[in-house]
Amino acid sequence: MAVITLDPVVHKKVNEWLTGDYDVETKAEIQVLLDIGDETGLTDAFYKDLEFGTGGLRGIMGAGSNRVNKYTLGMATQGLSNYLLKTYPNEQIKVAIAHDNRNNSDLFAKLTAEVFSANNIHVYFFEGLRPTPELSFAIRELGCHSGVMLTASHNPKEYNGYKAYGADGGQLVSPHDKNVIAEVRKITSIGDIKFEANPDNIESIGAEMDAKYIKALTKLSISKDAIQRQKDLKIVFSPIHGTGGVSVPPVLKAFGFENVILVEEQMVVDGNFPTVVYPNPEEEEAMTMALNKAKETDADLVMATDPDADRVGIAVKNNKNEFVLLNGNQAACLLIHYMLTAWEKAGKLTGDQYVVKTIVTSYLIDKIAAAKGVDCYNTLTGFKYIGQLMTSFEGKRTFIAGGEESYGYLVGEHARDKDAVISCAMIAEMCAYYKDKGSSLYDALLDIYLEYGFYKEKLIALKKEGKKGAEEIAAMLAGLRKNPPTTLGGSKVVTIKDYKSSVSTDMNTGAKSKIDLPSSNVLQFFTEDGSIVSARPSGTEPKVKFYCSVNGVLDSKGVFEETEAKLDEKLSVILKDLGA
């Protein structure tokens, strides 16, 4: 055995797992790390316990307190069970569980169902893989008190995770997430986890819920005539080996689209994601096969969803007949503009409607909403905050649509999480609507820029893995707080918002005002010329993210490329100023 020196906390945890009532395979995995002297591997696996972030519980699969395995998920489920039993003491508690295509997702889902059932909680268990938004819908439809989705969304194949939901169908937010974690921390031994299932408490669900979900989505269609005329619109779709393959094609068919071309190689359910580097439609590489299929078939629209089908990436044809990828900000602007315009034309905007976005998503959406006389709310990053706001307005105001720059959107109130299934259907509907008018999604985007201003955003994500990476991210943000930039891209910083201290500072007068959002480790810098830079650590990945937004006037479609080049140059200067 190699000689290594571990932090005392790590050393204690390693010994607890080696001597505790853990299975042989788990102990053997830890022993291998000890034998080869992998100090970094052991430290990363044991230096902390997995905690709920913006995307719930997520991590690399393997042995350890900071890894996703039967014990950490068992503790999370037992903690959630204890919380539910305390919160609803005189009720028959009901939960719904679904899973994606990731390696072990089905096994982890079964384990989760067994622990709930052992705690006398009734479980509605999806018979096969289903998208995250359908779980959110099912929780609401079945009157559940909670729900769990086994997924790590768009993370690499080594990851898995556990999204926990409340009775509203939204992911757990404070104080509920913290209260669940408090219950988890009370579990001092895996002996406290009830692993022995009660099969009588587990009920299988599937086709009937699918039909209800599809019916709820088709009700949201607003351009049925255009779809009928453009039913042969060529749509290339890929689920990137995930759950989108189960739901998106049936919903597109229900909307009336008859020419959906599937990327067959990526319709194969596979947790190793063999055809991509990362199963993330935000990455151009993950869209390659779909784009190639689109070029081969001369398609009108390309769409690809992530493994749990809550995010969608799209590509459209520009005015040179070339396919271009739209980023999450552009897609959100198009979708929200389309919905608001349709409501406006139908005379349905009464002042009770609203849209929602996150603070790091394009402020072009705020401008569009203001022009339509519709309130636009900004939440912290993480769709759970959008869901929370929707629940607070339920029955009082009408939610039209919401979105975030990380390719997640929601139309309608059927769910409380981002929904790539309804997004795919509405994006296809938009495409049909504009084609029916002799236009295109690309032209529609340029028209928005002409009317409201040309907004250009860029995201830089720096990967910082493990304990050392977490420390580097903390130091980076501490440095920005201690020595904030005074200018960015040649323009003076006039406002700094520190969401951690919930304080907004006017840099001209020194005046401070309160930010009316929960505390979060986010910094925003606003410049005199309207540029915005946001910095935050990712809640789901070992990364620090810089979101940059600049804007200008687009005088005509003919000078689009020239104007875009100027904005790109400005973004480059800002990023250089930040040292990113």
* Residue appearing with tokens 């990455």: 283
Q: With the C-alpha atoms ordered 180, 186, 188, 190, is the resulting torsion angle positive or negative? A: negative
Task: Give the CA distances from residue 457 to residues 330, 401, 454, 567, in Å, rounded to whole numbers and listed in that order.
Answer: 9, 21, 10, 9
- How far is it, in rounded angstroms, from Cα 408 to Cα 411? 11
User: Of how many residues is the chain composed?
Assistant: 580
* Helices within 321-382 (DSSP H only): 328-345, 364-371
Q: Is 136 a residue of the active site? A: no
Burial (Cβ within 10 Å: 0-12, 13-18, ≥19) of residue 21: exposed
Q: Which of 65, 81, 136, 153 is catalytic?
A: 153
DSSP secondary structure, 83-139, as one string: HHHHHSTTS--EEEEEE-SSTTHHHHHHHHHHHHHHTT-EEEEESS---HHHHHHHH
Tokens of 303: 């769409």
> Residue 417, Cβ neighbours under 10 Å: how many?
26
Contact residues for 548 (Cβ-Cβ < 8 A; gap 6+): 457, 458, 459, 460, 531, 532, 533, 571, 574, 575
**Cα-flanking dihedrals φ and ψ of residue 403, to 5°?**
-170, 165
- Nearest-angstrom CA–CA distance, 233 and 231: 5
The first and second tokens of residue 443, run together, are 């032209």
H or E segment and range at residue 163: strand 159-165
Identify whether the C-beta of residue 505 lies closer than 8 Å to the C-beta of residue 434.
no
315 DSSP assignment: E
DSSP annotation of 55: T
Angle at 201 between CA 195 and CA 203, to 5 degrees: 115
DSSP string, 488-515: ETTEEEEEEEETTTTEEEETTT--EEE-
Q: Which of 54, 2, 9 is nearest to 467 (CA)?
A: 9
Backbone φ, ψ for residue 357 (5° rounding): -145, 175
Q: Which two three-digit tokens encode residue 217?
A: 């989505």
Residue 169 contacts residue 447 (beta carbons within 8 Å): no
Task: Quickly count: other Cβ atoms within 10 Å of residue 13's Cβ.
Answer: 22
454 beta partners = 552
Task: Describe the chain by its helix, strand, coil percentages, rounded to 5.
Answer: 40, 20, 35
Neighbours of 529 (CB within 10 A): 15
Closest Cα to residue 115, out of 74, 171, 61, 85? Answer: 74
State the catalytic residues.
153
